[in-house]
Chains A and B, each alone.
Chain A
Amino acid sequence: MDQNQSRDCKQLYAKLQRLDFAIVELALYLDSYPDNAAALDYYGKLIAEREEVARAYKQGCGPMTIMDNKNPALWEWGQSPWPWQNDQ
């Protein structure tokens, strides 16, 4: 992975983290208020954005789940750094 790609991946990762944080909290709200139109609308917007960011991350940076190993020649899932290892 070259330096530019690595920087892009860090940005995508941070963006995904921010979006998912918001989506999880919004889901908790919707669990109690399932017919709140404004919350549902906001949820839809976040999910659409999330799908794009997640697709870019999986394609260019590596697997986020065991479903995302896009490299047919390498099991990247087991080779990439784990999220608690910030020392790479």
Chain B
Amino acid sequence: MWIYERKLQYPVNIKTPNPKLATAIITQLGGPDGELGASLRYLNQRYSMPDKEIIGTLTDIGTEELAHMEMISAIVYQLTRNLSEKEINESPFASYFVDHTTGIYPVSAAGVPFDTKYLAVKGDPITDLNEDLAADAAITQQQPLLKMCQKPL
């Protein structure tokens, strides 16, 4: 089971809203390489693993991904607070806003809802561990996002 701890794994304190950035960052929640897929992947692959070290690692990283999910959601929440109608309409956040207002819904940057097809669980340790390697290529998945955050939008 899990028990909630009333804190983020790392602080999120955003002072200036930015709906355009929110539209990109939300992919880290519900996109093909997002934290939701990551947590489901690891937590569900645990059961068919043959070895204590792997089960322990998958349990702990799967749990940590849930904490990442919360941080990403906090970022999107804070980036879209107190926006004016004009700010929303003039940003790519406008179409997300039509469907979800400022609720946090797991979608990719292109607005595609989260899909379990983003992960694989085959019950075979080698197959699943290879999938984990491919999925957690964090550098690849975060590079475009990091670039976008470093440049003023």
Contacts and interface: CB of A to CB of B under 8 A. Distances in A.
Interface of A: 13-14, 16-17, 20-21, 24, 27-28, 31-32, 34, 62-67, 80, 82-84, 86-87
Interface in B24-71: 53, 56-57, 60-61, 64, 67, 70
Contacts, number: 60
Contacts of B60: 24, 27-28, 31
B78 A86 contact: yes
B151 interface: no
A80 B5 CA distance: 13
Interface residues of B, number: 25
Given A17-B9, A65-B5, A80-B6, 4 more contacts: A14-B11, A27-B60, A28-B60, A67-B3
A7 to B, nearest CB: 16
A13 B5 CA distance: 12
Nearest to B10: A21
B6 A84 contact: no
Given A17-B11, A24-B9, A84-B78, A31 B4 contact: no
B131 to A, nearest CB: 19
A87 B13 CA distance: 9
B77 interface: yes
B78 A34 contact: no
B100 to A, nearest CB: 17
Contact of A86 (B4, B12, B73): B12
A21 B5 CA distance: 13
B94 interface: no
A66 B6 CA distance: 9
Nearest to B52: A34
